[in-house]
Structure 1
Amino acid sequence: MTEGVQRRRTQPGERYDVFHTDCPARDVVDHVTSRWGIWVLISLRGGDLRFYELRESIRGVSEKMLAQTLRALVQDGLVHREVEPTTPPQVTYGLTEFGRDLGEPLEDLFDRITRRLT
Structure 2
Amino acid sequence: MSLPRAKLTKNFPGCPVEATLSYLDGKWKGVILFHLMDGTLRFNELRRKLPAVTQRMLTKQLRELEGSGLVSRTVYPVVPPRVEYALTPLGDTLKPVIRALAAWGEEYVFCRPEGHELRDPSCAPAALQA
Distance 2:49 2:13 in 1: 31
Runs of 4+ in 1 over 6 A off after TM superposition: none
Aligned partner of 2:38 among 46, 71, 78: 46
> Superposition RMSD on alpha carbons, in Å?
2.6
CA distance in structure 2 between the partners assigned to 1:88 and 1:47 by the alignment? 22
Percent identity between the aligned chains? 31
Kindly provide the CA deviation profile for residues 4-50 of structure 1, in whole angstroms up to 9, marking residues without a partner as x: 89xxxxxxxxx954418xxxx84x63341310111111110111000
Please report the TM-score for the alignment, with normalisation by the length of structure 2: 0.67
Q: 1:43–1:58: 8 Å Cα contact kept in structure 2? A: no
The corresponding residue for 1:83 is 75
Residue ranges of structure 1 left out of the alignment (5+ in a row): 6-14
Q: Which has the higher contact order (CA 8 A, sep 6+)?
A: 1
Q: Which amino acid aligns with 2:37?
A: R
- The alpha-carbon distance between structure 1 residues 117 and 68, as it changes in their structure 2 partners (threshold 3 A), is closer
Contact 1:42/1:106, CA 8 A, preserved across alignment: yes
1:113 aligns with 2:105: yes
Among 29, 32, 47, the residue aligned to 2:24: 32
Q: Please, which runs of 5 or more residues in structure 2 have no aligned partner?
A: 4-9, 111-130
Q: How many residues end up aligned between the 2 structures? A: 101
Partner of 2:14: 19
